[in-house]
């Protein structure tokens, strides 16, 4: 039977589709507009919008498994209507279409941002609560609300598994993602400074392999956190320096100072046509919990995140091979 993947052109989607194809499975990809990540792949492409329930029902016809990745991801704090429309109502539509079409398993990709990380000195695991709606950043709240839609579907008999990755790095980052752009700026030596914060980073390939295992073996109704390794922004920059030879930025600003400057920096970036990296939302994310447990995924899915240096090296090598980094970055090579 064919597997359907929403959000297949995103970073995780691009890796997942390749994993599924490598197993000889037939894949139907649901895309909105951007198809770069899928060019040359032997997949069935269906264009549309997950906010359209009829489109989803037609797309899920004769489908046993759906991987739901489609979502709006943004570090701007003023997009709640868009988050609600796509992340919450879109997920509600996916659930309804799965129920109507008799889909046997839905693998839903949530996010660590949907889970409360407070207090910061206590480990985060699958028993941690979802963030309160509207009291956190809009993206975080929308992913928490989308999980609630999945639980409503489970109560109606839907067989679903929820996956919550942390910060995603790795190859097949075609757009690129925000974290991918940070790596590129570090490798090019164009990042003016660093901030005194960090995040838990996980390889996209480890995420998608765990997702396929969850589809095949996980009990219905469970959630797995897919975390990797916590590292500060400075530690990430030092890894890039070690891999590429490009010196890491020398300035490290405290988060409180960066937060004061964030509105002005965001405004200047926008009028200059650049994508802002240090916004109020992204800085809040970097004030993160250092203890995010993937013990449950390790026990039940065999999840084992690879070393962060290997992930960073493979990410930069992929960017170089695909024309994102010029020939001056000659030192980059695979770690694996």
pLDDT in tens, 95-139: 999 999 999 999 999 999 999 988 888 999 999 999 986 666 788
Angle between helices 233-244 and 308-321 (to 10 degrees): 60
Contact between residue 270 and residue 144 where contact means Cβ atoms under 8 Å apart: no
**With bands split at pLDDT 50, 70 and 90, how would you rate the model's confidence at 300?**
very high
Q: Do the domain assignments include residue 50? A: yes
Q: Does the residue 317 lie in any domain?
A: no
- Does 240 fall in a domain? no
Quick: pLDDT tens for 235-247. 999 999 999 999 9
- pTM > 0.85: yes
Which pLDDT belongs to residue 135? 61
Whether residue 193 lies inside any domain: the answer is no
Angle at CA 217, nearest 5°, toward 213 and 219?
125
Q: What pLDDT, in 10s, does the model give residues 62-84?
A: 999 999 999 988 766 567 787 88
User: In this structure, what token pair is assigned to residue 252?
Assistant: 């490290």
Q: At what angle do helices 178-188 and 233-244 cross, to 10 degrees?
A: 50
The tens digit of pLDDT for each residue in 200-232 reads 999 999 999 999 999 999 999 999 999 999 999
Contact 97, 62 (CB under 8 A): no
Q: 10 Å Cβ neighbour count for 190?
A: 10
Number of domains in the chain: 1
Residues 6+ apart with CB under 8 A from 21: 27, 41, 42, 43
CATH number of the domain within which 8 lies: 3.40.50.720
185 in any annotated domain: no
Quote the percentage of the chain above a pLDDT of 90.
69
**Containing domain of residue 33, as a range?**
2-174+201-228+290-305
Give the pLDDT score at 11.
96
Nearest Cα residue to 304 out of 234, 227, 247: 227
Q: Tell me what the pLDDT averaged over the chain comes to.
A: 89
Q: pLDDT (tens digit, 9 = 90+) per residue, 158-197?
A: 999 999 999 999 999 999 998 999 999 999 999 888 888 8
**Residue from 48, 44, 12, 7 nearest 27 by CA:** 44
pLDDT of residue 125: 95
Question: 40 in a domain, yes or no?
Answer: yes
């Amino acid at each position: 039977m064919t597997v359907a993947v929403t959000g297949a052109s995103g970073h995780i989607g691009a890796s997942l589709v390749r994993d599924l194809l490598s197993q000889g499975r037939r894949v139907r990809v649901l895309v909105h507009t951007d198809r770069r990540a899928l060019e040359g792949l032997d997949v069935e492409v269906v264009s549309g919008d997950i906010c359209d329930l009829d489109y989803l029902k037609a797309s899920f016809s004769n489908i046993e498994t759906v991987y739901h990745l489609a979502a709006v991801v943004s570090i701007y704090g003023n997009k709640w209507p868009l988050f609600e429309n796509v992340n919450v109502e879109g997920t509600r539509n996916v659930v309804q279409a799965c129920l109507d079409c008799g889909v046997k398993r839905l693998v839903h990709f949530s996010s660590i941002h949907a889970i409360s990380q407070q207090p910061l000195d206590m480990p985060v695991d699958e028993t941690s609560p979802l963030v309160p709606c509207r009291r956190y950043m809009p993206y975080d709240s929308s992913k928490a609300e989308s999980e609630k839609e999945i639980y409503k579907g489970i109560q109606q008999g839907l067989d679903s598994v929820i996956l919550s990755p942390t910060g995603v790095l790795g190859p097949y980052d075609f757009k690129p993602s925000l974290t991918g752009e940070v790596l590129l700026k570090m490798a090019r030596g164009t990042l003016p400074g660093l901030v005194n914060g960090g995040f838990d980073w996980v390889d996209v390939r480890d995420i998608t392999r765990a997702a396929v295992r969850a589809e095949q073996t996980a009990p219905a109704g469970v959630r797995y956190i897919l975390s990797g390794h916590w590292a500060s922004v400075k530690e990430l920059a030092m890894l890039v320096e070690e891999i590429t030879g490009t010196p890491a930025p020398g300035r490290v600003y405290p988060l409180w100072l960066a937060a004061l400057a964030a509105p002005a920096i965001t405004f200047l970036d926008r009028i200059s046509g650049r994508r802002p990296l240090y916004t109020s939302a992204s800085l809040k994310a970097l004030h993160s919990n250092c203890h995010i447990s993937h013990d449950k995924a390790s026990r039940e899915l065999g999840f084992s995140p690879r070393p962060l240096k290997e992930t960073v090296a493979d990410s930069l090598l992929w960017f170089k091979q695909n024309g994102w980094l010029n020939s001056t970055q000659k030192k980059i090579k695979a770690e694996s």
